[in-house]
Amino acid sequence: MIALAIHYGAWLALAMLIGVATGWWTWGPRRGEVEADEPIAWPPPKEAAVPVLAPPVLAADDLTAIKGIDVEIAGRLRDLGITRFSQIAGWLPADIERVDAALGPFKGRLIRDEWIAQARLLARGDIETYHQRFGCF
């Protein structure tokens, strides 16, 4: 170890100097002008009310494009508030259990027919991959 320090001492010192300079430049003291604080007014002035806009309503997707979803199942999904491919694509295990239980006689179909995989492809508009994997809709 001492032999390495003797042999590479100049390079080690240079590397340490560069490291210290970089650290100082990155995290060193910031010198800026300090502005005076504004006086605090009490009670604070009332600001003009900003109207709250409702989020835009997106048009519903045709869920029957997913293989395994017919008109009746699409109606059940719509009753649950599911109208878009992106909603199905983002389902978590708890969502799958909840929806699967609400499907009644169609229980198990969403896993068997791979609704989530289909919805992910349709949500991002990857129709070519959808056709390759699931056929035409």
pLDDT value at 91 more than 60? yes
Average pLDDT over residues 114-135: 90
CA 128: distance to chain centroid?
Answer: 24
Between 81 and 35, name the one with better pLDDT: 81
Average pLDDT over residues 19-34: 73
The rounded distance, in Å, linking the Cα atoms of 76 and 95 is 15
Helix ranges (DSSP H) in 28-114: 71-79, 85-89, 93-102, 109-112
Dihedral (Cα; 107, 66, 124, 98), 10-degree rounding:
-20
pLDDT value at 88 more than 90? yes
Between 137 and 106, name the one with better pLDDT: 106
Locate the domains of the chain by residue range: 63-134
